Chain A
């Protein structure tokens, strides 16, 4: 028994492979393939190919409300040729970037508190509470925010009760950001918390022993050590808000639109699938670039801080 557990998995594998040497090679492949293939086949057939088809679709045409296969750059020209699209594009990027930065900033003190000021039991409860929102409907929460933020909503009623002027919150950028925070604040806090809680505590002790003031400890020791989690949190916030059409529509008023709203309009109202596909391909390309640079940034600074 001991000799088996002491072997590395690779060694065990090769040993069993030798003992099975009499079984034909093909038969030996059936077992691993049976487990590996379903996921590969499914995600190829229903994830990779549909995304590829989206690119093909951008070159198709709509004639008499019917899709016609073609190789025509007309949709790209129609979408990219309008300044309107670019203003929507830049606006969506700016809002997602703003949301990622703002939500990360808002989340950090909370994640810091959970990681460094709570004992184990309280921490587990706090994390459990943060997971709950994932199982409530985002749509219902957005609907409830409408009741809070509306011109005659609960917050304005309270303001008027206190003798203040009502404030327009629904159908403004502020409303959209409230929705964005509803969408990703718990996730960002969780991701930041997970990286903060894994920081080597002796680093912080060392900073304290060297009389580093608390603020500088946070900035010079804790933030760099948790860099990966912080960047990951911001990246997820960017990805989620960049593609969200619910908050901009139902809390932001939908006008001016975001790229997500543009897609629903092209698909649902205008029956312009190829143009919606152009927008979608642009979105995915942008997200791939953002994720690529985010990952590079996260790990580059990490390497330097270790060197």
Chain B
């Protein structure tokens, strides 16, 4: 480490440029949302909360928010449940066809959302299940469960595999061992998975656009504004969505940090 190369200025600048590119639209959207003018030009118009006021008084946006929140909550719970079961299965058991099992569990995010959306629309409408809020939940659970599974699997791999077996040997049935040993250990990752999958569902526009019918969610609403005219309302909606997602992620992080600190503490006292 002593002879680590000095940070070359060019690489510093370059990386700064990359971060500028990544954050320019995020920061600009926030600035535009507080700008009085309809069309963003320099110099900016006066400061105004007008667009936020307009968003908050638009019943269509309220409805979209409630649709999104409901769908995200249901998706999060469902995807976390599915993800936990699969993560635990992968952690605990070896069986014939396991790689096929893992493949169908993990593959959905690699299929373009537009293809998923179309196949969902075609399939669900055959079953008369399309065009409702639960259609979004069904489809989003497919997309989100793999993420939940990955997060929970990561946590389970930190668990001493003898812990569960020890409780079995001490006379606990598998269900009791699950309740008193595995679930408490996995709990923080369950919360993280819940929040992350909710955030993914809350932001997803393509599948929701295909299967939601008349039940517009927030991103679908944004998509339809995008197709229409220029409106800084998008920036205000974007700001609110960003805050919601970040709150979810920060909440997940806090839970995660707390539990790892608790782990560290118990490890110390255990020694």
Which A residues contact B (CB, under 8 angstroms)?
1, 4-5, 7, 9-10, 12-13, 15-16, 19, 31-32, 34-40, 42-44, 46-51, 53-54, 57, 106-107, 109-110, 112-114, 116-117, 129-130, 132-133, 135-148, 152, 154, 157-158, 181-182, 185-186, 189, 208, 214, 239, 242-246, 250, 260, 263-264, 267, 273, 276-277, 280, 283-284, 287, 291
Contact = CB atoms under 8 A, between A and B. Distances in A.
Given A31-B175, A116-B5, A154-B41, A4 B11 contact: no
B269 interface: no
Which of A50, A146, A273 has its CB near the most chain B CB atoms (within 10 A)?
Answer: A50
B267 interface: no
B42 A154 contact: yes
A239 B109 CA distance: 10
B: interface residue count bin:
35 or more
Contact of A16 (B85, B118, B168, B249): B168
Given A43-B105, A43-B142, A51-B111, A140 B238 contact: yes
Given A31-B175, A139-B205, A39 B222 contact: no
B2 to A, nearest CB: 11
A54 B169 contact: no
Interface residue SS majority, chain A: helix
A135 B246 contact: yes
The main secondary structure of chain B at its interface with chain A is helix
Nearest to A3: B162
A185 B104 contact: no
B141 interface: yes
Contacts of A137: 203, 205, 219, 222, 237-238, 241-242
A143 B249 CA distance: 24
A273 B249 CA distance: 37
B5 A135 contact: no
A263 B111 CA distance: 14
B245 to A, nearest CB: 4
Contact of A260 (B84, B114, B145, B219): B114
B123 A50 contact: yes
A106 to B, nearest CB: 7
B89 A143 contact: no
A173 B24 CA distance: 20
B12 interface: yes
Contacts of A277: 118-119, 122
Contact of A47 (B22, B92, B104): B104
Given A4-B162, A114-B15, A141-B29, A136 B219 contact: no
